[in-house]
Every structure is written in structure tokens, then in C-alpha cells.
Structure 1
């Protein structure tokens, strides 16, 4: 079918680390030429949309902050829907803090409604302790994503899921997750695109996050073998993507 909108992963789909995937440039340029709405959906809660868009533009990929939707933005939006006057305790960096401020949420250290956890590369014992105590006092525990490890040039390093695991262990409480592979971030992104699940396709390189997010939300999926999931993994996938491509250059927009 011909899709009216595209949700697109970043790392492994648009670029690998600091290097652009060449086919991605033409793919997004074609979306722009056809005036098809697209949104980059990322589990990264540390970057603001402005920073993420600037990085894409440096790689010659057309992007504005309006083209970026992060797990931090989805988390803040969800909390605002539950309680627009919520008091929140935040573990995280600029991305999650700005998203929460933009949503009108108030950061606090006591009488808190939600404990919000995103990746924090300046994490301290005190932060974990405070979060755990607030959750035990009744605050809802919500996390931007469950990525336990992040690939870097040095190897795998702790991701947000590792921080969340420590707080969950200390507080005896399981969190609610927002980012991929959860359906919640997908439904929030569709709302921003103003399109239905049946009009949209999710494009990504990671079956466990990108493709499962699409499957969980009832969205068609395009798996691109340019990153995490490889051709050798395909026979073991429990549910197949709608389409699997070696590269974005193989995609035909007029299906």
C-alpha cells in the first residue's frame, strides 16, 4: 500500500554513531519531495529535539525539531494527560527535563506524583536513594525506555534500563515504560503526525525495539538490515515485519 506517513528510527537506520547511512539521505529527501509527513522516533531521552535535528542536518538529512519525537517527549505528554498539575522527581538530562518543563510539569523533591527516570550520565547514589524513597511513598514510577545497554566505540555501556533496574530493586516496584518497544510512544507519535495506525509505517533496524513497537501498536513495519538485526536473525523472528530490506534504497514509495 501507499503510506501517508513514516515513523523512522535514528541510530542504525539514519546513521551509525557519527557516520550517516548514505541511503538515508535520499530516502528522507524523497519523503520531503513527496510532502509525506515523517517523524524521527527515538528512545534517546538525553537530547532535545533541537539538538537531534541539528545532528541530522549536519549529516545532510532534512530535519527540524518538529520532525523529532523522543521518549522524553512521550513520557512528559503521558504524565500531563494523567495529571496536568503533576509534581515530578526527575532523574535524567536536558532532553527529559526540557520536555517536562514544556509540558508544564513541576519538578519537586517531596509530595511527588511521579518519579521519572531517563538516562543520567551524572547519576549518584543520592538520586537513586531519593527516587526509591519517593516511589515507596506512593509516587508512580515511570521510565523513558528499558534499553539496558548502549553500543559505543568502547563497547556496551549502561543504558537507562540499568538505572531503572537499580531503582526497581531498591523500591520493590516495577516501572511503567514509555519508549520502544512499547505501544505508547507509537500512539503518541501518531497523534503528532495526525495519522492513523493503518496509514503509517514504522522504519527501523532493531527488531526488538523498532519493529516490536510497530507490531505492538498495530502499525506496519519496515525492517532495514543496516544496524542491529541481521539477515541471520530473520528465521528466528517470531512475527515477521511487513517488509524487510537490505537498504532503504530498495524501498518503492508507490506500492
Structure 2
């Protein structure tokens, strides 16, 4: 039995645009009763919101099939037992995940600064986060993505904001999202299969593919997001690694997988 950890942004959709063959791929997984988990570095949405967004694009999945970097960050903090006061730089998905795990947001002396994507990021927010870190708070970053695919093209991601915070504070964050082994271990555990029986599918060599490789999974790069047919060689060279499969899209992945006879 093979399992699948599948990226969202750039793999199943770009912003509000479904990627061709995405719905058919999910249907194929269900038809063959193959276990899967949609693993996203995007911390801005809850699993329920992700499922609703996918349904609007014609892709029907249960919220339980979604695992976000916000959920992984909350799980990580819970395991640390290092206090429950959090200063958050992020959006609703991160706030809800932290509050659901019992963390108190706000206050003047937080134990953690937890940062994700924040599209209202400002100089004031930068200053506040840096001051907390200078006073000893632990820095936790949901994901290191510097750029994200969207409707109008690429946009800065959480990693771009983290670069400013790290530069100003001198504090390196604990990174939760792909390619970190933290989220990969949590996701593989949820899937309930050995890492060697898991395929990691995504559009980003530096996060999806590197994360899968470090976790001991098989990897498939789809050329529908950050990686494209035009830049794939440049992407592979900059990352210094090669996935097990390079696919034009998810239909091409199915075809290659069937050709390998590895199900």
C-alpha cells in the first residue's frame, strides 16, 4: 500500500484557479482507496477553510484530510511544554490552531513568537516581534517559503517576513513547515505508513521535494507552480537534488506511477 502527502498551493490550485487534473487525481486516490493527506505550508487557513476552498474549485475532500503548518506549529509547541504565552504574527488559520491547543495570545512577556504568512505585516509588527525575541522568547516559524504562487503570479511568503525578523533580531527560528522534518514526521505519522511507502508530491523543489527526501519518502515534482517547464533545471540546480519523478502535472504522475507498477 502506498500513501501520498500532497502539496496544495501550486499543486492542486493557484490562488482561486484549479490546476488541470487536480480533481481527477483526488478522485483517482479515492477510487483506489489510497491513503492521502494534503500537507500545506500555508498557515493562513484552517483545514475547514481549505476544504471549503477546494470544494469551490470542484475538489471534494474532508477537512480531516488537510494538515497545515499552523496545526504542526501548535502540535510542536504542545510537545515542548515551554509555556503557553504566544505572540503571533500571522492570520486566522494560525490563531485558531494555537487557541484550539490552549495557547494564550498576546501579553507583554510571551514564551514564543510564532510567525506565519501575514499579509498585513508592518514595521510596527516587525518591531514588536524583534523586541520579544530580544527579551528571550523562542522564535517559531510556520514555514520558510519565500515566494508563493497566486492568481497574479508569485508573491512574498512567510519566509520573506522571517528574513526581516531574523536579520533584525539575530535569532534563527525553529522551522516547522516543509522541508523541516518536524511537519514531515507529523504528517507521516498521521498517514500511518512507513516513510518508504509514501510519495511526497509538490511543485517546490526546496520545500516539498527536499522535505520528502529528508524524510525518506519518494518524491514527485509537478511543473505547475513554483517549478515550471521553463525553470525546472534552474530550480533543480539551485536545490542540488533531483526528485524521483518530474511530472508535467498530476495526470502525468498517475501515468508514470502506473508505468512503474509501484502501487
Q: Taking structure 1 as the reference length, what is the TM-score of the superposition? A: 0.91
Secondary structure of 2:21's partner?
helix
Once residues 211 and 108 of structure 1 are traced to their aligned partners in structure 2, the CA distance between those partners, rounded to angstroms, is 35
Q: Is the 8 A contact 2:41 2:177 kept in 1?
A: yes
Size of the aligned set, in residue pairs, is: 253
Aligned to 1:68: 66
What is the distance in 1 between the residues matched to 2:57 and 2:151?
19
Counterparts of 1:155 and 1:194 in 2: how far apart (Å)?
A: 36
C-alpha distance in structure 2 between counterparts of 1:93 and 1:12, whole Å:
20
Specify the alignment match of 2:250 in structure 1. Answer: 248
Match of 2:226 in 1: 228
- Aligned counterpart, 2:166: 168
Between stretches 189-198 and 212-221, larger displacement belongs to 189-198
> Residues of 1 paired with 2:122 and 2:19: CA distance?
36
What per-residue deviation string (whole Å, max 9, x for no partner) do you get for residues 105-126 of structure 1? 2213223211101111222333
Q: Within the alignment, does 1:7 sit opposite 2:5 as a pair? A: yes
Between 210-219 and 231-240, report the one with greater CA deviation.
231-240
Deviation of 1:186 (Å): 0.9
CA displacement at 1:13 relative to structure 2: 1.4
For residues 20-76 of structure 1, give each alpha carbon's deviation from its aligned partner in whole angstroms, at most 9, with x where no partner exists.
223121211111122222111111111111111111112221211111111111111
TM-score if structure 2 supplies the norm length? 0.88
Q: State the Cα distance separating 1:214 from its structure 2 match.
A: 0.4
Is contact 1:186–1:214 with CA below 8 Å preserved after alignment? Answer: yes
CA RMSD of aligned residues (A): 2.0
Superposed displacement of residue 155, structure 1: 4.5
CA contact (8 A) 1:150 1:158 kept: yes
Note the C-alpha offset of 1:148.
2.1
SS of the residue 1:22 aligns to:
coil
